Amino acid sequence: MLPSKMLASDEAGIYFFEVTKPNTEMSTAWVSKSPLETMLPDEFIECTKVLSAVIFVNYRADQKVSTDVFIHELGHAMGMFRHFPGFDNEAKKPVDTNFWPVLQLLYSYRAGTSEADVSR
């Protein structure tokens, strides 16, 4: 159980929540706007790259969460919304060598920069 202050928190940040009684359909780990939900806030990284919402990285207590899965979910919490080769749980490779350059690229541009304006 989360402390009541955290459940009612309006302090932006990334919080980690261990799910002790998971629904059997839940993934091993996921990111959401509150514990046990599956939806992210609409906007949570401002143009200044400041986290502007509460983000939960949820993980199941009844399953081992690998380091790669943990890093994958943290990537979502840091703004990597869509999956791509190297950041894909369908291919059984939640994180590989493509992940790190994309994360670096994401944080080297101002938040909100259009895809067309990003040099590859």
| Minimum mean pLDDT range among 11-15, 25-29, 49-53, 61-65 | 49-53
Q: Confirm whether 17 is domain-assigned.
A: yes
User: Which distant-in-sequence residues (6+ apart) come within 8 Å of 47 by Cβ?
Assistant: 110, 111, 112
Q: Confirm whether 3 is domain-assigned.
A: no
Q: Confirm whether 116 is domain-assigned.
A: no
pLDDT at 50 over 70: no
Q: Confirm whether 117 is domain-assigned.
A: no
Sign of torsion over alpha carbons 96, 40, 28, 26: negative
Q: Confirm whether 4 is domain-assigned.
A: no
- pTM for the structure as a whole: 0.71
- Containing domain of residue 47, as a range? 9-111
pLDDT at 8: 42
Q: Confirm whether 65 is domain-assigned.
A: yes
Q: Could you give the number of structural domains in the chain? A: 1
Residue 14: closest CA among 110, 111, 98, 79: 79
